[in-house]
Amino acid sequence: MRSLLGALGAVVFALAPAGAAQIRPLGHANPGGGYAGDVFVHKGFAYLSSWHGLSCPSQGVRVYDLSKPSRPRHVSTFADGNSDLAVRGTWTEKTIVQHASTPSFTGELAAVSFQNCPGTNSYRGFGLYDVSNPRAPRQLALVRTDPGGSHEIWLQAVGRRTYVYTAIPVAEFPGHPPSPGFRIFDVTDPRHPVEVGSWIASAAMRAGKTAVFVHSVRVNPTGTRAYLSYWDLGTVILDISNPAHPRYLGRTADSQGFAHSTAITPSGSVLIETHETTGGRPSFWDISNPRKPRLLSVFKPPARLVANARKRGASGFTLGVHDAKIIGKRAYFSWYALGILVIDISNPRHPRFLAQFLPPASRDPENEFCAQKSCTYTWGVYPTRKYVAAADMVGGLWLFRPS
């Protein structure tokens, strides 16, 4: 089948090999009290972020010990409104945890995005936390990012320095005086972060586009490239070798629009771009020449999976892809109503469907997402060699075996 982007020569694939399977759950923990956001796994602990919902309970980040993945154990909560009045009225979509070793700090550092709940003027920005002991996280700093909060965030150690790279969509929304939606903070001393660089799309790049803003950011391990999911602009690739002066290299051009997030293969030569829209599908790009990204393929989920989701009441963008993660030669996609799809990407021109993990339906705590009283609404995924963690907005934390 020819792609929607047929003019660019890419092919849509939905191949299911013999033995493609439905994966059984391994472990589950539902924190209750509201909706889950993304999930990040670091050194045997899962960090489950939260979403605002209608009541905006400011649940912060819940930490789970995964030493027994069949029985995740809640060990702490941080960045929540109950323990810190300064962040009451916020939600924490994204948490990234990395080891940092700088002249000012050595240990496990967490960066948490904060956005103010709808209709409030609450805190917005990001927070830094020492999670060297995940059972007792300690706040190091809160950084306000006006005019809007940090929507999606990345944390990266680069030599003896550490940086936070953040996307602030509101900064470039139509109707706002434009300011850079991509900003870089030096957090080498995480108690005293300093903004050191930023970037904004030029007027010429915006011409003819209706929605140009930074939704997400991903940075390569050496801290030399930033990949900005720029909605109608596609994925913008920047040279950030000098964080004070990000330099534009190139961008993707997928007619699906709604560029939501990215994942990069270990070689750094292939980028997966997801599209948060009705029927959105992940596209695969050769970025070996970042000035001229080349479309390789677009992956289409098997029709039977979509049909089954529709029978369960799914519709609209819930049938589209959300996030992607890569480990080895497999990609794991969180796909809202489709759960997690596992894809063989050993040949990115021909991605192949391998298996689906569909979390059992859970009750919608505020009846905001499920057409029926319960559903599957999978937001995020984080694969490891031993297990894969999935964040379901209504069901909380799920784990399954990657095989």
pLDDT (tens digit, 9 = 90+) per residue, 33-54? 999 999 999 999 999 999 999 9
**Mean pLDDT, range 87-97, rounded to an integer:** 97
Residue 403 pLDDT: 73
Cβ atoms of 129 and 96 closer than 8 Å: no
Q: Taking Cα atoms as reference points, which of 264, 231, 227 lies closest to residue 246?
A: 227
**Mean pLDDT, range 195-207, rounded to an integer:** 96
d(C-alpha 144, C-alpha 249), whole Å: 29
- Give the whole-number percent of the chain exceeding pLDDT 90: 91
Residue 145 pLDDT: 96
What's the CA angle centered on 328, arms 399 and 163, to 5 degrees?
85
The pTM of this model reads 0.94
To which H or E segment does residue 111 belong?
Answer: strand 106-116
Task: Identify the weakest region by mean pLDDT among 43-47, 177-181, 233-237, 349-353.
Answer: 177-181
**φ/ψ of residue 117, rounded to 5:** -65, 150
Helix ranges, 171-298 (H): 203-206
Length of the chain: 403
Number of Cβ within 10 Å of residue 172's Cβ equals: 24
Residue 64 pLDDT: 98
**Mean pLDDT, range 339-346, rounded to an integer:** 98
What are the boundaries of each domain within the chain?
A: 7-30+299-403, 33-251
Q: Does domain 33-251 have CATH number 2.130.10.10?
A: yes
**Mean pLDDT, range 267-272, rounded to an integer:** 96
Residue 20 pLDDT: 60
